[in-house]
């Protein structure tokens, strides 16, 4: 393995408009002093503060992806209640920024590949999780491998979408989902009816460190913040289920 310098990458994902959680994560992140910050999408859609969270994420100026919710915003798909809530609040400038966001990123001279869902399957694909039972469990390696097609020479793959924090080693590739900044649980009907539960209301992100030998280590961080206040925002905006998920990390 070639020698590599130490590098620290902070990984954000799935803020879903929860500005209170986002601010807590960014305060914690500043103390970590990363060399690079990457944002994996699903940025502002949620019954919290879409405008405030979009403004903060734009101001970060970091490499940022479009998740499926950004695609839905641009396509006018209001099937998701979160998208329908956020769309009328976001400005022309917000939407113009969203239009510039790529679906994937290659960083650190190709050593890092970032996506929202999976490299091969797009922004709705569950890269690491199998939800066939109605609950998220780690998918077998032979199911994950085909979803990694397209990463090139990357040794670190970053994904979001499922909100489930995980670090998985596939051969010489480390795959990391940092979890969700702003929504620690949810339910969905696709690809089958299922629930995602992290079991705690903390705001999640990850800090990855490339050690001198080129191996990546992972710090999955769970940050306390005023999740009761965030839940109250969701409740005020008519989303009682999101309020419960936000306050408990359970569905």
**CB 42: neighbour CB atoms within 10 A?**
29
CA distances for 189 relative to 77, 87, 135, 193, 238, angstroms: 16, 22, 12, 4, 21
**pLDDT at position 28, please?**
98
d(C-alpha 157, C-alpha 113), whole Å: 5
How does DSSP assign 181-219, residue by residue?
Answer: SS-SEEEE-SSSSEEEE-SS--EEEEEEEE-TTS-EEEE
Say how many residues make up the chain.
Answer: 251
At 199, list the tokens: 């079991």
| Residue 120 near residue 147 (C-beta atoms within 8 A) | yes
| 156-158 vs 173-177, strand pairing mode | parallel
Q: Which residues of the chain have pLDDT under 70?
A: 1-3, 78-80
Look at residue 72 and give its three-state secondary structure: helix
**pLDDT at position 1, please?**
38
**pLDDT at position 65, please?**
98
**pLDDT at position 79, please?**
63
Handedness of CA 32, 33, 36, 41 (dihedral sign): positive
Phi/psi class of residue 76: alpha, beta or left (left: φ > 0; alpha: ψ in -120 to 50)? left
**pLDDT at position 81, please?**
84
| Residue 86 near residue 17 (C-beta atoms within 8 A) | yes
């Amino acid at each position: 393995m070639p020698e590599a310098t130490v590098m620290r990458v902070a990984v954000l994902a799935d803020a879903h408009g929860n500005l209170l959680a986002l601010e807590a994560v960014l305060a914690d992140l500043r103390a970590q002093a990363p060399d690079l910050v990457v944002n994996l999408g699903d940025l502002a859609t949620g019954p919290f503060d879409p405008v405030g969270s979009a403004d903060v994420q734009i101001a970060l100026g970091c490499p940022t992806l479009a998740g499926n919710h950004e695609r839905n915003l641009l396509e006018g798909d209001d099937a998701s209640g979160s998208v329908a809530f956020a769309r009328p609040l976001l400005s022309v400038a917000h939407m113009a920024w969203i239009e510039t966001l790529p679906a994937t990123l290659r960083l650190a001279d190709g050593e890092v590949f970032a996506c929202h869902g999976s490299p091969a399957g797009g922004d709705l694909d569950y890269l690491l999780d199998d939800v066939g039972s109605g609950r998220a469990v780690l998918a077998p390696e032979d199911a994950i491998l085909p979803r990694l097609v397209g990463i090139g020479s990357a040794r670190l793959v970053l994904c979001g979408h499922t909100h489930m924090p995980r670090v998985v080693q596939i051969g010489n590739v480390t795959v990391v989902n940092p979890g969700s900044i702003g929504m620690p649980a949810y339910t969905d009907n696709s690809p089958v009816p299922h629930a995602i539960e992290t079991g705690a209301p903390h705001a999640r992100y990850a800090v990855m460190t490339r050690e001198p030998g080129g191996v990546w280590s992972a710090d999955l961080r769970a940050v306390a913040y005023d999740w009761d206040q965030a839940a109250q925002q969701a409740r005020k905006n008519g989303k009682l289920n999101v309020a419960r998920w936000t306050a408990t990390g359970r569905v």
